[in-house]
Amino acid sequence: AQKVTQAQTEISVVEKEDVTLDCVYETRDTTYYLFWYKQPPSGELVFLIRRNSFDEQNEISGRYSWNFQKSTSSFNFTITASQVVDSAVYFCALSEAAYGSSNTGKLIFGQGTTLQVKP
């Protein structure tokens, strides 16, 4: 069965600190997708990144970076020089590939990590 574990329930940092959110997953599929979403206090779910199981290259987008390691089944997310606006709940999710397409199937979510960035 597929499972996503975000062991950190809450993290509190001071602005400008770097912070890493951990995500560990379990799946028997050889083709799968990993996601990170941000849920600010307003409640909407904001897509941050999708990574497929065949691409282990790390990715950087501005202050955000992601480290995907299949050997440890981890897909960690780092925010560099955190800002107050980064305060939110962050979800890691796993999806099987939808049969016959590059679309993703249903998402299995981790429990989420609440990040509080203090000024």
| Total of residues contacting another protein (CB under 8 A) | 23
Torsion of CA 90, 86, 41, 113, to 10 degrees: 30
- Residue 45 binds another protein (CB under 8 A): yes
Binding mask 20-39 for another protein (x = CB under 8 A): -------------x-x-x--
Nearer to another protein, 17 or 59 (CB): 59
Given CA atoms 41, 46, 48, 53 in this order, what sign does their dihedral have?
positive
What CA–CA distance (Å, rounded) separates 80 from 101?
35
Least distance from another protein to the Cβ atom of residue 44, Å: 5
CA angle 37, 41, 43 (to 5 degrees): 60
Give the residues lining the site for another protein (CB under 8 A).
33, 35, 37, 43-45, 47, 50, 91, 95, 98, 101-112
